[in-house]
A and B are shown apart, each in its own frame.
Chain A
Amino acid sequence: MASGPLEEVFREEWGRVLATLVGYLGDIELAEEAAQEAFAAAAERWPRDGQPANPVGWLITTARNRAIDRIRRDRAFAERAEQLARELAERPEEAMDETTLFPDERLELIFTCCHPALGLDAQVALTLRALGGLSTEEIARAFLVPFETMSKRLSRAKHKVRDAVIPFAVPSDERLPDRLDAVLAVVYLIFNQGWGDGRVDLAGESIRLGRALAQLMPDEPEPQALLALMLLNDSRRAARFVNGELVLLDEQDRSLWNQAQIDEGREWLEQAIARDGNGPYVIQAAIADLHLEDPRDWGEIAVLYGTLAELTRSPVVEMNRAVALAEIEGPEAALELIDQLPLDDYRYFHSTRADFLRRLGRNEEARAAYGRALALTQAEPERRFLEARLLELRPRSDADWDEFWTSTLDDLEDRPS
């Protein structure tokens, strides 16, 4: 796809165009092919004839006509074509042309893509493809899986949506809380996938999705809070990496923080709180906000992590509470708390533990913990950060060696014989 105004229309409107087509055709694959043809036709015609007054209407109408042509050509779809023609005849008021103002049906589409009958991997991939317009190749690269694997995952998901008739609708009130949780989890997972190694496309994509959700569900505090959380964390992106190396928050150059994003994030958070939001994303966004203050109010941060831990029962949240505790009561108390958590497979558990041990001067144990974290980490900047920490802890001078042996011998003595 060429860059320029069309690229912009593609980025902004792909989700809207596709959503309307899925609602109309009931088949994501067919809708996608038709939308692609329409965007290709636009790439050819718009530079020549000028952009139409209603680009979305033009794209949807063109795609719909292409889809009907395709169905008519394909005998296997003959029955479906008749059915579509019948439906159109029954609802003449819905006949479309380029000037039609189509309702935004992205919300329906995102609930389809994040339906719990699909596996989480499939939900994430389908959301990025259908709403974000990312190509299969881009999604495969972002999730470090082979193209073939991602391609199969996507087509399997699209076929299940069609064959099992996963509804294209915003869930009813009694189902909404659970289903909305699933949608928010997918968006946040996409954000976090882009966070580890600073991949710009995924963070931007998840914020775009989050903004759409917050705008499409203006009465729900949690989507607003999720958007606030992502904006506040992402505002530090430019400062998180210097020459490709990870920089911890306390050492970051604050002038590199994106103040416009911080302001927008805080506005969304205020709106969510004004709507009596007190769910997990509201608390996490409030914590992210506190992290931006200098000096940080670790007491308040620890209290909020405590509330969040009660709400989510998540050991990862407890681990974060331990980080705050280390600042208030010292690394010893924090280590005691963290050592009770069942997080042996979590890379940040080992890097956090390593940091507490390092601060306590228990260098040999810290090295072992950094080693464990390194073994679990794939993102290159994080790997280099951990390797640098390991190098710092490597015994160098004679005095270091003395300390090394003393701590090792202490270790041996501590062990039950």
Chain B
Amino acid sequence: MKYALLAYNPSAADQRDSIPPEIGEALARPNVTSWMRLQPAESATTLSRREGTTLLTDGPFVDSKEYLAGLIVVEAANLDEALDFAAELEGLARSGSTIEVRPILEDG
């Protein structure tokens, strides 16, 4: 079973900081399928389809105090395992960070 861990950071945080070594160690484990960090939300461009035309907007889709900062895909036996890993990362992250855990829809 695969889960996506969507990591949100407070807007004030600087996304370009280097990854703390403990988090780097956790991300290197075999249960982590892949992960990525995103450039700050201000670099986003949003497309939306409205009445047959596509609209471009400067900025993220949802404007909020927190923004999507990264995505981690993990392999876990069940939700508890995925939540444990997310809680471990959350414990290492800066305060104010939030992780949303979502099961990944797999074919079949």
Q: Chain A residues with Cβ under 8 A from B83's Cβ?
A: 117
Stretch in A67-75, A164-172, A220-228, A234-242 touching the partner? A164-172
Q: When the two chains form their complex, are residues B78 and A163 in contact, meaning their CB atoms are under 8 A apart?
A: no
Q: Chain B residues with Cβ under 8 A from A48's Cβ?
A: none
Q: How many A-B residue pairs have CB under 8 A?
A: 23
B92 in contact (CB, < 8 A): no
Q: When the two chains form their complex, are residues A166 and B108 in contact, meaning their CB atoms are under 8 A apart?
A: no
Give chain B nearest CB distance to A161 CB in angstroms: 9
Give chain B nearest CB distance to A239 CB in angstroms: 45
How would residues 62 to 86 of chain A score, 1 for a CB under 8 Å from any chain B CB and 0 otherwise?
Answer: 0000000000000000010000000
Which residues of B in the span 49-84 have a Cβ within 8 Å of any Cβ on A?
A: 77-80, 83
Give chain B nearest CB distance to A46 CB in angstroms: 37
Give chain B nearest CB distance to A177 CB in angstroms: 15
Chain A interface residue count: which class? 10 to 19
Given the known A-B contacts A164-B103, A165-B1, are A175 and B79 also in contact in the complex, defined by CB atoms under 8 Å? no
Q: When the two chains form their complex, are residues A163 and B103 in contact, meaning their CB atoms are under 8 A apart?
A: yes
Q: When the two chains form their complex, are residues B78 and A166 in contact, meaning their CB atoms are under 8 A apart?
A: yes
A188 to B78, CA, bound (A): 28
A217 to B76, CA, bound (A): 28
What is the interface of chain B mostly: helix, strand, loop, or mixed? Answer: mixed
A171 to B1, CA, bound (A): 19
A167 to B108, CA, bound (A): 20
Q: Chain A residues with Cβ under 8 A from B108's Cβ?
A: 79
Which of A79, A163, A175 interacts with B80 by CB under 8 Å? A175
A115 to B82, CA, bound (A): 14
Which residues of A in the span 94-134 have a Cβ within 8 Å of any Cβ on B?
A: 115, 117
How would residues 95 to 106 of chain B score, 1 for a CB under 8 Å from any chain A CB and 0 otherwise?
Answer: 000000111000
A117 to B101, CA, bound (A): 10
A167 to B83, CA, bound (A): 12
Q: When the two chains form their complex, are residues A167 and B78 in contact, meaning their CB atoms are under 8 A apart?
A: yes
Which residue on chain B has the smallest CB distance to residue A179? Answer: B80
Q: Chain B residues with Cβ under 8 A from A175's Cβ?
A: 80
In this complex, the member of B77, B79, B103 whose beta carbon has the largest number of chain A beta carbons within 10 angstroms is B79
Q: Chain B residues with Cβ under 8 A from A117's Cβ?
A: 79, 83
A115 to B83, CA, bound (A): 12
Q: Chain A residues with Cβ under 8 A from B79's Cβ?
A: 115, 117, 164-167
Which residue on chain B has the smallest CB distance to residue A167? Answer: B78
How would residues 161 to 196 of chain A score, 1 for a CB under 8 Å from any chain B CB and 0 otherwise?
Answer: 001111100010001000000000000000000000
How would residues 10 to 38 of chain B score, 1 for a CB under 8 Å from any chain A CB and 0 otherwise?
Answer: 00000000000000000000000000000
Which residue on chain A has the smallest CB distance to residue B81? Answer: A167
Q: Chain B residues with Cβ under 8 A from A167's Cβ?
A: 77-80
Can you give 10 A-B contacts (C-beta < 8 A)?
A164-B79, A164-B101, A165-B1, A165-B77, A165-B79, A166-B79, A167-B77, A167-B78, A167-B79, A171-B80
A interface with B by C-beta (< 8 Å): 79, 115, 117, 163-167, 171, 175
